Chain A
Amino acid sequence: MAIDIKIVEEAKKPIAMHPKKFALWLFIATVVMVFAALTSAYIVRQSNGSWLVFDLPNMFWVNTAIILASSLTMHWAYVSAKQDKIDVTKLAITLTTILGTAFLVGQFFAWGQLVDNQIYLRGKDATAVSGSFLYVISWLHWLHVISGVVVLVVSTTSVFRLKANSKNLLGLEMCATYWHFLDVLWLYLFVFLLLNR
């Protein structure tokens, strides 16, 4: 009874990332494309002339500072969760959620300032399209920040239920990626609007 032993070539496991993390990056790509389209439309329309030059409301500066700070606290939360510092994580993620909500509220004041400066969604003449663009772009970003705050609330709950720690970081990591993205997206839009008024 002969037994042949045959050794077969190894089938390599292909390189792979976590599929859900990867999907998040793809979602981010779609959001980038929406805003790329809107800001391109903005530039194209602006180059056609008859364009009301507007001043960005001061609240935009404040809100930019708020969302930048929230990105820092988000990173702080992520790092401390990685080191299993639960209490610090709780503090940091709560701060992030509060700052995120503050941004949402702050944008309302910013739009109020725009109205005070007589920039309306539908203005009186052909030059008012600049204001329409300003509102639509900032509203759409605002809607995305709402989704970001919802994700933050979910993450905060899981931190308080001790479900996010160095062994189980996926949720918090994805939350951080999305939140940093929303921050960078706002920075882009803010700088874009500053430079192309």
Chain B
Amino acid sequence: MATTDIHIHSDVHHHGDHDHEHEHHEGNFWTTYIFSQDHKVIAKQFLITGIFWALIGGVLSVIFRLQLGFPESNISWLKPLLGGWITADGKLDPQFYLALVTMHGTIMVFFVLTAGLSGTFSNFLIPLQIGARDMASGFLNMLSYWFFFISSVLMFISLFISTGPASGGWTVYPPLSALEQAISGSGLGMTLWLVAMAFFIASSLLGSINYISTVINMRTRGMSFTKLPLTIWAFFFTAIIGVLSFPVLFAAALLLIFDRSFGTSFFLSDIYINGEPLAHEGGSPILFQHLFWFLGHPEVYIVLLPALGISSEIIATNSRKPIFGYKAMIGSMLFIAILSFIVWAHHMFVTGMNPFLGSIFMLLTLIIAVPSAVKIFNYVTTLWKGNIRFTPAMLFSIGLVSFFLTGGITGIFLGNSAIDIQLHDTYFVVAHFHLVMGSASFFGMLAGIYHWFPKMFGRMMNEGLGQLHFWLTFIGVYLVFFPMHYIGIAGFPRRYYSWTNFDTFSGFTDLNMLVSSAAIATLAAQFIFLFNFFYSMFRGRLAPINPWNATTLEWTTPRNPGHGNWPGEIPAVYRWPYDYSKPGAKEDFIPQTVPYSETPESNLPHETKLIKLESSNGDNAIIVEGSH
């Protein structure tokens, strides 16, 4: 017995259909893999570049951890790699140590967790999950990647110049970053940093504009905002935050460029070098901090929200339960997005700010704990009594929730302007943000890769290796960052080249040794992932169409979706994306494309009412089923 489904359509074609027909020619190597305008290829370009940068950022951190954990050791064996940056007696050059710290921060925050995370998953998932052929503008999307690429090349070059890369910290505070006399990295290295970041901002803005425009305007039939997966909501809020905050960094960088190269004094005043006053007068370095942190704090959520969205999706899918509090999840992300713009001065409590102003920013900062707690409760209640499948993606998502909690709690300490007097600029801060923003987002990114790898490359990653990778990384991250809380409470300042020269600070050498060893082990564990990633890309088990039995639209595409994503018409959407284990349903998931009329056994009363017995104009989705 055969069943035919005849889809009758009036003239209401999705406008993407027409584009699709025009673009269905085969491109050559250059247009398919290099200057591609297809969102899936661009996503993979962002992913590969992001992985490349993550590796460099990780190696840089291990080099400076060697210095911190084993300050007495001779590291002249690194000479082939670092050359003149190793001093004659086999020690790391102190200036290069600062360069390493700066570049580790810049690379991880911007190149890996902003471009690598948002660039990969917003590009890949937005069209696939909302049911669009591609982004609103494929050309701008391509431009976004290539601006990022130019930015990457410039930043990479700056690692190899003789005066060293930017060394004033990833926050590039003037006057340190503005004056070449301050540190050699503030010369050409800092110029390259600023130019690279200008390209990066352009790339990020082009991307964000595209994401917002696509989410609002290109959704398929039936995909109302309340039916969007939480991933899309997260990417959407992230893009809005980016559009509003990155231009402010641009303004700060512009003024800094004028101070550095054209002799103005926006951020510089009353500076004496070797007893001689500089010509710069009348500027305010605090002004830079205000501008920087107006981007800097939202940036934390640009990094974190996509990871939270990804984990919402993965936790619901692998718990085989609807996400708990779908609207509360959206509301808390919206609330976090709004709050992110009015808390920036908590990075500046000790800059001589009015204490009353400090207490206002403290109050606003502590309020962030509310939506964050809502999210954690919702993750836990989604897991509660779920039919949990511990896939690598699921493990990394649960790991994210763990880091978000342990790292978030210390945020409540640091958000207090009084406690911050003791804790600011110590390893406590380093531990806090590496857990809550660094590791949590990194785990979100890894979870996303494990979960959507089958859709990206049509093959499965090895599950055993994935679990090994998870446990080594999870334990490693806690071994690295947990001891740092103690080191920080003891008052150890961050960014110091060496402590053993001070009696006060020579107490925690053993703990620092543990941290450094754990950091090396954690970096080593990432090579398991790299092997798994590249091996599975070519040799992995062929992926089924819907390997995780998920409900969202990307799993209705072919195994290797071509340009335009769906070979035929784009499916319409009838229900929200979290119909897992619905009582009465035949299977434990109902895809978004299944109308309520086909699932009378599991419909709730209000859903049955949604079925229109008479289609108003006889257009759109009338399905005629006939048996022969």
Which residues of chain A have a CB within 8 Å of any CB of chain B? 1-14, 16-20, 22-23, 26-27, 29-31, 33-38, 41, 44-45, 48, 50, 121-122, 125-129, 132-133, 136, 140
Quick one: given A22-B213, A44-B290, A122-B262, are A6 and B625 in contact (CB under 8 Å)? Answer: yes
Q: Quick check: A23 and B210 within 8 Å, CB to CB?
A: yes
Q: Quick check: A45 and B622 within 8 Å, CB to CB?
A: no
16 additional contacts (CB under 8 A) given A7-B613, A13-B12, A125-B282: A1-B628, A5-B625, A7-B597, A8-B622, A10-B620, A12-B222, A20-B136, A23-B137, A23-B209, A30-B246, A30-B247, A37-B251, A44-B284, A126-B265, A126-B281, A129-B265
Complex interface bits, B203-217 against A, C-beta within 8 A gives 1, otherwise 0: 001001110111011
Contacts of A5 in B (CB 8 A): 624-625
Q: Quick check: B287 and A45 within 8 Å, CB to CB?
A: yes
How far does the alpha carbon of A128 sit from the alpha carbon of B140 in the complex, in Å?
40
Nearest-Cβ distance from residue A19 to partner chain B, whole angstroms: 3
How far does the alpha carbon of A170 sit from the alpha carbon of B209 in the complex, in Å?
18
How far does the alpha carbon of A17 sit from the alpha carbon of B225 in the complex, in Å?
15
Complex interface bits, B239-255 against A, C-beta within 8 A gives 1, otherwise 0: 00001111110111011
Q: Quick check: A125 and B625 within 8 Å, CB to CB?
A: no
Q: Per a CB cutoff under 8 Å, which of B266, B573, B623 touches A6?
A: B623
Nearest-Cβ distance from residue B84 to partner chain A, whole angstroms: 36
Q: Quick check: A129 and B283 within 8 Å, CB to CB?
A: yes
Q: Which residue of A lies closest to B281 (CB)?
A: A126
Q: Which residue of A lies closest to B612 (CB)?
A: A9
Contacts of B264 in A (CB 8 A): 121-122, 129, 132, 136
In the complex, 17 of the A-B residue pairs with CB atoms within 8 angstroms, ordered by the A residue number, are: A7-B623, A8-B611, A8-B621, A8-B622, A9-B615, A10-B620, A17-B216, A17-B217, A22-B136, A26-B213, A41-B287, A50-B282, A121-B263, A122-B264, A127-B282, A133-B266, A136-B254
Nearest-Cβ distance from residue A27 to partner chain B, whole angstroms: 6
Contacts of A132 in B (CB 8 A): 258, 264-266
Q: Quick check: B294 and A37 within 8 Å, CB to CB?
A: yes
Quick one: given A6-B624, A8-B623, are A23 and B221 in contact (CB under 8 Å)? Answer: no
Q: Quick check: B224 and A14 within 8 Å, CB to CB?
A: yes
Q: Quick check: B254 and A2 within 8 Å, CB to CB?
A: no
Does B626 have its Cβ within 8 Å of any Cβ on chain A?
yes
Q: Quick check: B282 and A126 within 8 Å, CB to CB?
A: yes
How far does the alpha carbon of A18 sit from the alpha carbon of B596 in the complex, in Å?
31
The 5 closest A-B pairs by CB, nearest first: A126-B282, A11-B222, A19-B136, A11-B572, A37-B251
Contacts of B214 in A (CB 8 A): 19
How far does the alpha carbon of A2 sit from the alpha carbon of B269 in the complex, in Å?
89
* Interface range, B side: 35 or more
Q: Quick check: A7 and B291 within 8 Å, CB to CB?
A: no
Q: Quick check: B224 and A3 within 8 Å, CB to CB?
A: no
Nearest-Cβ distance from residue A8 to partner chain B, whole angstroms: 4
Which residues of chain B have a CB within 8 Å of any CB of chain A? 12, 136-137, 140, 205, 208-210, 212-214, 216-225, 243-248, 250-252, 254-255, 258, 262-266, 269, 281-284, 287, 290-291, 294, 572-574, 595-598, 610-616, 619-628
Nearest-Cβ distance from residue B478 to partner chain A, whole angstroms: 38
How far does the alpha carbon of A9 sit from the alpha carbon of B572 in the complex, in Å?
11
Q: Quick check: B248 and A34 within 8 Å, CB to CB?
A: yes
Q: Per a CB cutoff under 8 Å, which of B210, B217, B595, B626 touches A16?
A: B217
Central interface residue in A9, A12, A50, A121, by most chain B CB within 10 Å:
A9
How far does the alpha carbon of A16 sit from the alpha carbon of B218 in the complex, in Å?
7
Q: Which residue of B lies closest to A133 (CB)?
A: B266
How far does the alpha carbon of A39 sit from the alpha carbon of B42 in the complex, in Å?
36
Nearest-Cβ distance from residue B182 to partner chain A, whole angstroms: 20
How far does the alpha carbon of A45 sit from the alpha carbon of B290 in the complex, in Å?
11
Contacts of B224 in A (CB 8 A): 12, 14
Q: Quick check: B622 and A7 within 8 Å, CB to CB?
A: yes
Contacts of B625 in A (CB 8 A): 4-6
Q: Quick check: A48 and B255 within 8 Å, CB to CB?
A: no
Q: Quick check: A19 and B218 within 8 Å, CB to CB?
A: yes
Contacts of B221 in A (CB 8 A): 11-14
Q: Per a CB cutoff under 8 Å, which of A4, A13, A23, A29 touches B136?
A: A23
Q: Quick check: B287 and A11 within 8 Å, CB to CB?
A: no
Central interface residue in B208, B225, B246, B248, by most chain A CB within 10 Å:
B248
How far does the alpha carbon of A19 sit from the alpha carbon of B213 in the complex, in Å?
6
Contacts of A133 in B (CB 8 A): 266
Quick one: given A7-B614, A7-B615, A8-B623, are A128 and B209 in contact (CB under 8 Å)? Answer: no
Q: Quick check: A22 and B216 within 8 Å, CB to CB?
A: yes
Quick one: given A19-B213, A127-B282, A128-B282, are A121 and B243 in contact (CB under 8 Å)? Answer: no
Central interface residue in A7, A127, A136, by most chain B CB within 10 Å:
A7
Contacts of B626 in A (CB 8 A): 3-4
Nearest-Cβ distance from residue A11 to partner chain B, whole angstroms: 3
Contacts of B623 in A (CB 8 A): 6-8
Q: Quick check: A125 and B251 within 8 Å, CB to CB?
A: no
How far does the alpha carbon of A33 sit from the alpha carbon of B251 in the complex, in Å?
9
Central interface residue in B223, B251, B263, B622, by most chain A CB within 10 Å:
B251
Contacts of B612 in A (CB 8 A): 7, 9-10
Contacts of A22 in B (CB 8 A): 136, 212-213, 216-217
How far does the alpha carbon of A23 sit from the alpha carbon of B210 in the complex, in Å?
7
Central interface residue in A33, A45, A136, by most chain B CB within 10 Å:
A33
Q: Per a CB cutoff under 8 Å, which of A16, A26, A36, A127 touches B219?
A: A16
Nearest-Cβ distance from residue A5 to partner chain B, whole angstroms: 6
How far does the alpha carbon of A121 sit from the alpha carbon of B258 in the complex, in Å?
10
Central interface residue in A35, A129, A140, by most chain B CB within 10 Å:
A129
Q: Quick check: B265 and A9 within 8 Å, CB to CB?
A: no
How far does the alpha carbon of A103 sit from the alpha carbon of B225 in the complex, in Å?
44
Nearest-Cβ distance from residue B357 to partner chain A, whole angstroms: 13
How far does the alpha carbon of A98 sit from the alpha carbon of B12 in the complex, in Å?
43
Q: Which residue of A lies closest to B573 (CB)?
A: A11
Q: Quick check: A23 and B266 within 8 Å, CB to CB?
A: no
Nearest-Cβ distance from residue B270 to partner chain A, whole angstroms: 9
Q: Quick check: B627 and A2 within 8 Å, CB to CB?
A: yes
Q: Quick check: B210 and A126 within 8 Å, CB to CB?
A: no
How far does the alpha carbon of A96 sit from the alpha carbon of B506 in the complex, in Å?
71
Contacts of B624 in A (CB 8 A): 3, 5-6
Q: Quick check: A37 and B610 within 8 Å, CB to CB?
A: no
How far does the alpha carbon of A50 sit from the alpha carbon of B216 in the complex, in Å?
48
Q: Quick check: A30 and B287 within 8 Å, CB to CB?
A: no
Q: Per a CB cutoff under 8 Å, which of B212, B291, B572 touches A26?
A: B212
Q: Which residue of A lies closest to B202 (CB)?
A: A30
Nearest-Cβ distance from residue A154 to partner chain B, whole angstroms: 15
How far does the alpha carbon of A48 sit from the alpha carbon of B251 in the complex, in Å?
20
Contacts of B287 in A (CB 8 A): 41, 44-45
Q: Which residue of A lies closest to B619 (CB)?
A: A10
Q: Quick check: B595 and A19 within 8 Å, CB to CB?
A: no
Q: Quick check: A6 and B597 within 8 Å, CB to CB?
A: yes
Nearest-Cβ distance from residue A114 to partner chain B, whole angstroms: 15
Q: Per a CB cutoff under 8 Å, which of B208, B223, B243, B252 touches A14?
A: B223
Contacts of A34 in B (CB 8 A): 247-248, 250-251
Nearest-Cβ distance from residue B377 to partner chain A, whole angstroms: 31
How far does the alpha carbon of A17 sit from the alpha carbon of B221 in the complex, in Å?
14
Q: Which residue of A lies closest to B257 (CB)?
A: A136
Contacts of A38 in B (CB 8 A): 251, 254-255
Q: Which residue of A lies closest to B208 (CB)?
A: A26
Quick one: given A11-B573, A34-B248, are A1 and B627 in contact (CB under 8 Å)? Answer: yes
Q: Per a CB cutoff under 8 Å, which of B137, B208, B252, B573 touches A20?
A: B137
How far does the alpha carbon of A31 sit from the alpha carbon of B284 in the complex, in Å?
24
